[in-house]
Each structure stands twice: as structure tokens, then as C-alpha cells.
Structure 1
Amino acid sequence: MDRLSIIGLFLALASLVGGSILKGAGLSSLWSPAAFVIVILGTIAAILLHTSPAIFRHAFRIVRWVVRPPASDRQLLIRQIVEWSNIARRQGLLGLEPHVEQQDDPFVRKGLQLVVDGVEPDAIRRMLEIELSGQEHRDLAAAKVFEGMGIYAPTLGIIGAVLGLMAVMKNLADPSKLGHGIAAAFTATIYGIASANLLFLPVCAKLKSVIAHNSRDREMIIEGLIAIAQGENPRNIETSLAGFLG
């Protein structure tokens, strides 16, 4: 559980609500059905046109990584790779076969199976790097869904404000409606800017950092498996992989 992300989401909401109350606008000024329809539904409509269905679905599968990123313990992973290396030296590469099905991560399972099958190290590297590149590409495309929402939302907020001011202009003859109408118009701007800068863009940035961390883990796995396939000394493997801990 990423506590900083949870605290950040809470503070983002608190800053918006608290700021509205402290400025004297009150909570009621933050609610506008028209602004919600224009900005939030409009942003969703724009991003649906912007992305493919597969990428859109993947984006909402990985958004949970903001508060619950994939488990990662590089020190434990290094110890596991060194253990596999020791087994391979004592029993040969086929001695790793019982460990293949024990792996929960499909990437690790595939790589270890390639080692057990005696595939050449260069071929193992090539296949795993292709797998890594493809997964990273899909994940980054999904993260950019939220980046796109962060780009569209402020513009739609301005559209909402303009539409609200157009409605105000129609009621110039009734001064009692002007204040409320102008306030409602600017609510759309708040929706657009706040949702972009307090939610969509930070979510995108967090997902990109998680994806980069995951890719770094997989790079370490590739190097470890290649070293096992090449029959390197377990102690040398451990020393080499320690560079990934920084």
C-alpha cells in the first residue's frame, strides 16, 4: 500500500474543499450539475475518442497501482536468482525445472523455462527484451490515458465557463441572477483545472514511475537468468545484480 498516494489524494480533496470554505464560497459553490456534465463527461468522451478500447480497459486495470503498486523486493529476487544459480551448478539447468511452475510472475516463469530448455543466452535475452518492451509499451500507453484526460479537462472547463457566461449575458436585465450565474460559470473552470492538476496528471506521473520500476525489475531478472544460462559463479551474479539496488 502506497501511503503517500493515499495522503496525497486526501490532501487534494481537502485543499479544494477547505479552500472553498476559507474563501467564503462554501461547499455549495463547488457543485454544479452543468459543469459536471461539460467537464467530467466531456473529458471521458474525449478520451474514449482518443484511445483504443483495449488501452482504455488496461488503463483502468492498472490505475490501482497508484495506491497499491505491484509487490517488489529486489533483495529477495536477487537471493532467489543466486539460489537458482547454485542449483544449476549442482544439478544442471534441468534441476531448475521444478521451480518454473512455482513462479507467479509470467515473465519470470517464461524466462526460467527458456533457461531450463537450454536456449542460447543471446536468444533468451532477445525474447525477454521483446516481451519487456511490449509490456512497457502497453503500460505506458495506458498511463497516457490519464495524461490525455489531464490535457482535455482544463480546456473543457473553459468551454463550460464560456457557456455559463453566455447564459449570464441572456439575463443582464435581471441583476439578481448575475452573481449566481457568474459563480456557476467559473465552477466549470475549477472542475477542469482541479481534476487535471490534482488527479489526472499526478495519477499519470505515478503510474509512469511504477512502470519504470517494474521495467527495472525485469531488466535485473533478464541479467540474472542470462548469467545462470552462461554458468557464471553465483557470487559473481550476486555482486553484479547488486547494482540494481540503487
Structure 2
Amino acid sequence: MDIAFLLGLLLAFGSLYAAITIEHASLAALFLPGPMVLVFGGTIAVGIASATIRDALSAVRALPRAVKGDRRTAAAMIDEVVVYAEKARTEGLLSLEQLVPDAADPFIKQSLQSIADGTDADELRTVLEDAISSTAARNRTAAKFFSTLGGYAPTVGIIGTVVSLTHVLEQLDNPDTLGPMIASAFVATLWGLLSANFLWLPIGNRLQRLGELELERMTLVMEGMLAVQAGAPPHHVGERLQALVADAPKAKTERPAPQLVEAA
């Protein structure tokens, strides 16, 4: 699990708690049901209204991914693709069908099955590029939904504050209660800003970044599997994929060192 998300939220809310404690403010005064219901409920409601039900469900399904992250990297896929190149080189392309059930990555599984089925290079590239485009669109939808919530939340918070201040103006004949009521009125604005910058925007940006990493990995796999289908030597496949990833480790399959022949 990538702890960046949970660690970041813990530090953010910890900083908020520290600020409240240093200022000797009341933590309970911030957890008012009315403003919180309006901010969170209203933000999610207008977010759904600005998209579709399918978009909202897609965003909800992406939440576990935002929390867990994705430990699969493009660099980690190089050795796996090189293994496929070795098997195809020694046993033929049809032998790759035996590896389809053991492939954990759905994209690799699709690539292996297509190669084993005899799909030609141009058609295979088209099929894999379509899969990449579909994944990119799905990732953008989820990330955009939460980023949209981050844009709505502060405004919804201001609406809650205006509603509360309207009620405050009705109580001008009771000055003893004006102070607490005004303080409570700004809680909605606080939760609007807090939810936007501590939750919605970080989730949206994180999903966007995870989507970029996934597309990078899928692109590397596509280029590698096309090289496998073309019958490229395993060490050439490894070198080709290493060139596509800046932080890629050296592949296990290496070009054999030239033999030095001593002069007689």
C-alpha cells in the first residue's frame, strides 16, 4: 500500500488540530451538524448534478485505489515482458497462451492472448491503443469528479455562512447571543475550504497521477509485447523498454559480453 495519501491526510488534519489547540479554540464548536450536512451533502449533490450517475459511481469505485495506490510500476514490468520474449523466442508465439491464466495484469493477459491468437502487428497495436484510450478516459472521469467537488465545496460553504448570518440578523435584539451565532455561521465556510483542500482536491489530483502512471505502464507493456510478437531478442526488448522509463532498473536479460581472443 502507498501510504502517501493516508500520511498526507494525517499530517494535514494533525496540523489543523495543533492550530486549534495552540489558539485554545473549541474543537467541538467546529463539528456542527447543520453546516457539515450542508457542505458535504450539498457539494456531493451538485457534483452529481454536474455529471452523470455513471460518472459518480465510477468515482466511488475509484476511491479504494486512491487510498491503496498502485505498487505496479512501468519499471517493474520490464523483467516480466523480457520473460515472455524469452519464451516466445525459444518455444514460439503459440507457447504464450500457456502463460495467459498466470498473468496478473489484465492488459498483459489481453496482449498475450491476442498474440497467441495470431493477431497481426497493426491490428494488435490498434487493439491495445484502444484499451489504453478507454482506461485513460475512465481515469480522467474519476479524477475530474473529485476535482469538481473541490471547486464547489468553498462556494457551498459560503452559502451556508450566508444562511446562518441571515438568521443572526434576525436576533439583533438579543446581543448576548450574537457572538456565538456569528462564530457558528463561519463554520460552514471553514468546512467548505477544509473539505476542498484536505479531501476533494487531493483525491482528484492523486487519481490523476495514478492514472498517468497506469498509462505509462500500459504503454511500456504495449511496446514490449509488440516487440515480442516481432521476434525481437530478449535483450533487445529489455534495452528498448529501459529506454522508455527513466528510472528503470537494468533488465535481467543482458547482451552477452564479447569474447576476447588473444593473438597467437
Matched letter for residue 37 of structure 2:
V
Matched letter for residue 144 of structure 1:
K
- Length, aligned pairs only: 246
Identify the range of structure 1 (56-65 vs 193-202) with the bigger mean alpha-carbon deviation.
56-65
Distance 1:21 1:167 in 2: 29
Identify the range of structure 1 (57-66 vs 208-217) with the bigger mean alpha-carbon deviation.
57-66
Measured after TM superposition, the shift of residue 17 of structure 1 is 2.4
Q: Secondary structure at the match of 1:134?
A: helix
1:91-106 matches, within 5 Å, as 91-106=91-106
Measured after TM superposition, the shift of residue 107 of structure 1 is 1.4
Measured after TM superposition, the shift of residue 73 of structure 1 is 4.2
Distance 1:240 1:76 in 2: 14
1:11-90 matches, within 5 Å, as 11-90=11-90
Task: State the Cα deviation string for residues 125-169 of structure 1 (Å, max 9, x = none).
Answer: 111111110111011101111111101100001001111111110
1:174-189 matches, within 5 Å, as 174-189=174-189
Measured after TM superposition, the shift of residue 232 of structure 1 is 1.2
Cα RMSD for the two superposed structures: 1.3
Structure number with the higher helix fraction is 1
Measured after TM superposition, the shift of residue 181 of structure 1 is 0.8
Q: Contact between 2:74 and 2:216, CA under 8 Å: does it hold in 1?
A: no
Q: Secondary structure at the match of 1:24?
A: coil
Matched letter for residue 121 of structure 1:
A
**Is 1:120 matched with 2:120?**
yes
Partner of 1:196: 196
Find runs of 4+ consecutive structure 1 residues off by over 3 angstroms.
73-76
Identify the range of structure 1 (216-225 vs 35-44) with the bigger mean alpha-carbon deviation.
35-44
State TM-score, norm by structure 1: 0.96
Measured after TM superposition, the shift of residue 88 of structure 1 is 1.0
Matched letter for residue 117 of structure 1:
D
Q: Secondary structure at the match of 1:67?
A: helix
1:226-245 matches, within 5 Å, as 226-245=226-245
Q: Contact between 2:2 and 2:71, CA under 8 Å: does it hold in 1?
A: no
Measured after TM superposition, the shift of residue 178 of structure 1 is 0.5
Matched letter for residue 60 of structure 1:
V
Identify the range of structure 1 (99-108 vs 146-155) with the bigger mean alpha-carbon deviation.
99-108
Q: Contact between 1:150 and 1:196, CA under 8 Å: does it hold in 2?
A: yes
Q: Secondary structure at the match of 2:42?
A: helix
Distance 1:42 1:52 in 2: 16
Task: State the Cα deviation string for residues 207-241 of structure 1 (Å, max 9, x = none).
Answer: 11111001100000000010011111211110010
Measured after TM superposition, the shift of residue 120 of structure 1 is 1.1
**Gaps in structure 1 of 5+ consecutive residues:** none
Q: Secondary structure at the match of 1:26?
A: coil
Q: Secondary structure at the match of 2:103?
A: coil
1:161-172 matches, within 5 Å, as 161-172=161-172
Q: Contact between 1:118 and 1:229, CA under 8 Å: does it hold in 2?
A: no
Partner of 2:145: 145
**Gaps in structure 2 of 5+ consecutive residues:** 247-264
What is the percentage of aligned positions where both structures have the same residue?
34
**Based on CA coordinates, which of the two structures has the bigger radius of gyration?**
2
Partner of 2:110: 110
Partner of 1:220: 220
Measured after TM superposition, the shift of residue 86 of structure 1 is 1.4
Q: Contact between 1:154 and 1:192, CA under 8 Å: does it hold in 2?
A: yes
Identify the range of structure 1 (66-75 vs 48-57) with the bigger mean alpha-carbon deviation.
66-75
Q: Contact between 1:2 and 1:66, CA under 8 Å: does it hold in 2?
A: no
Q: Secondary structure at the match of 1:25?
A: coil
Q: Secondary structure at the match of 1:102?
A: coil
Q: Secondary structure at the match of 2:186?
A: helix
Partner of 2:257: none
